[in-house]
Amino acid sequence: MRIKAWSHRGGAPDRSRFPNLEDFVLTPPARLSAAIEVLADIAERRRPAADALKDWGLAHRFAGSGDRAAIASLVYDALRRRASAAWVMGEDTPRAVLIGMLRLQHGLAAPTIAGLFSGERFAPDPLTDAERRAIAEGSLTDAPAHVAGDVPDWILPSLSHLFGDALLDELRALGRRAPLDIRINTLKRDRETALAGLTHLAPEITPLAPNGLRIPLGEDGRGPALHVEPEFLDGWYEIQDEGSQLAGALSGVRPGETVVDLCAGGGGKTLAIAAMMQNRGRLIATDDDPRRLAPIHDRLRRAGAEAEIRTPRGGRARADVLGDLDGTVDRVVVDAPCTGTGTWRRNPDAKWRLRLGSLSARVADQAEVLDRALRLVRPGGRITYITCSLLREENDAAINGILARADGALTILPAGSVIADHAQGLADSVRLTEHGLQMSPALTGTDGFYVATLERRG
Q: Which residues are annotated as a binding site for S-adenosyl-L-methionine?
A: 287, 335
- Cα dihedral 330, 336, 342, 347 in deg (nearest 10): 130
- Cα dihedral 416, 174, 107, 40 in deg (nearest 10): 170
Q: Are 171 and 159 spatial neighbours (Cβ–Cβ below 8 Å)? A: yes
Gap between the Cα atoms of 325 and 78, Å rounded: 48
Per the DSSP assignment, residues forming a β-bridge with 253 are: none
78 in helix, strand or coil?
A: helix
Q: How many beta carbons lie within 10 A of that of residue 267, not counting itself? A: 27
How far does CA 100 lie from the centroid of its chain? 24
381 in helix, strand or coil?
A: strand
Gap between the Cα atoms of 209 and 211, Å rounded: 6
Annotated binding-site residue numbers: 287, 335
User: Considering Cα of 226, then 232, then 238, then 242, what sign does the dihedral take?
Assistant: negative
Task: Report phi then psi at 303, rounded to 5.
Answer: -80, -10
| 388 in active site | yes
**What is the residue type of 369?**
V
Q: Are 371 and 363 spatial neighbours (Cβ–Cβ below 8 Å)? A: no
Q: Would you call 353 exposed, middle or buried from its count of C-beta atoms within 10 A (0-12, 13-18, 19+)? A: middle
Helices and strands of the chain, counted as H and E runs: 20, 13
Gap between the Cα atoms of 419 and 120, Å rounded: 58
Q: Single out the catalytic residue among 159, 334, 369, 388.
A: 388
As annotated, the active-site residues are 388
